[in-house]
Amino acid sequence: MPYIIETNNLTKKYGSLYALRDLDLKLEEGNILGYLGPNGSGKTTTIKLVLGLITPTYGKINIFNKDSSKNFEEIHKDLAYVASEPAFWSNLTAKETLYFFSKFKDNYDKDYQDKLIKRFDLDVNKKIRQYSRGNKQKIAIISALARRSKLIIMDEPSTGLDPIMEQVFRESIFEAKNNGQTIFLSSHLLEEVEAICDQIAILKKGRMIEFGNLEDLKHLNQTRFEVYFKDKKPNLLKIKDVINVKQDKNKMTFQVVGSTNAVLSEILKFNPSRIYSKPTSLEDLFLSVYKNTK
């Protein structure tokens, strides 16, 4: 399987600060990569390096099996990009903006663009300065998807989208994947990443501390429980992968790493009056990952 993006020791320093350090990343063709990390961890730096907007301090980037420092124009013919804060000309309408960007691509798919405009429920006749953040984001997403390029790089594209549009976004990303395209998606939304990504990379202070598919990262896959009992409570400490057990009168809270089957069958023996469970949030997951890495 050829790699669409492959980096070796990719590093960017600003003075003494490592914005990105020794990144070895391999993104396979047709995959969706979720690129996660807290503020300032190096996501946008990686994207700017891959796009050739900044030069590495050292390290290599191959895109489509070509050295990106030498094949900039060729690579960009088949690459689309959604910036984290898209900047457009405030006096143009969305329609004019989309038309302008369409001219940078030979096989721009105008029919697909119009389908996406309907799907994202975008009124294209307003001037850019009149659009909300989410609507500007939609213009950038539609423009990138209608390029139908081999590689799409998106920097937190769905931050301004409402929940309905978030669903439309996910459908459209799946459509691109089914069309054979490869997607690099930087995101803060673990739920989104879980729903659509094949591979996940997690950055911390410029270093990639986790990389793999969801199964590989299942130690990150935790469920948070809150359970109420009428009288006796179970001893959950004896069950493997149950952590952070806290008890308070008739209530127990805890987290389960991976499968919840064992813990549920133990709880049910004690006749619980109520069980609440939800996946841990991205922040919880980050905390658990970060505790185990320096």
Residue 11 vs 41, nearer CB to ligand ATP: 41
DSSP 101: H
Residue 44 vs 137, nearer CB to ligand ATP: 44
Out of Mg ion, ligand ATP, none, what residue 42 binds, judged by CB under 5 to 8 A for its kind, is ligand ATP
What is the C-alpha to C-alpha distance for residues 240 and 256, in angstroms, rounded to an integer? Answer: 9
Instruction: Give min distance, CB of 47 to ligand ATP, in A.
Output: 8
Residue 41 vs 62, nearer CB to ligand ATP: 41
**Burial letters for 216-236: b for 16+ Cβ neighbours within 10 Å, e otherwise?**
ebeebbbbbbebebeeebbeb
Out of ligand ATP, Mg ion, none, what residue 212 binds, judged by CB under 5 to 8 A for its kind, is none
Order of all β-strands in the sheet with 182-187: 79-82, 151-155, 182-187, 32-36, 199-204, 207-212
| Chain residues in the site for ligand ATP (CB under 6 A) | 14, 17, 19, 37, 39-45, 84
Spatial contact of 145 and 176, defined as CB atoms under 8 Å apart: yes
Instruction: Give min distance, CB of 14 to ligand ATP, in A.
Output: 4
Residue 44 vs 172, nearer CB to Mg ion: 44
Spatial contact of 214 and 221, defined as CB atoms under 8 Å apart: yes
Q: HSE (CB half, 13 Å, CA atoms) of 97?
A: 28
| Chain residues in the site for Mg ion (CB under 5 A) | 43-44
Instruction: Give min distance, CB of 186 to ligand ATP, in A.
Output: 7
Instruction: Give min distance, CB of 102 to ligand ATP, in A.
Output: 28
Instruction: Give min distance, CB of 180 to ligand ATP, in A.
Output: 28
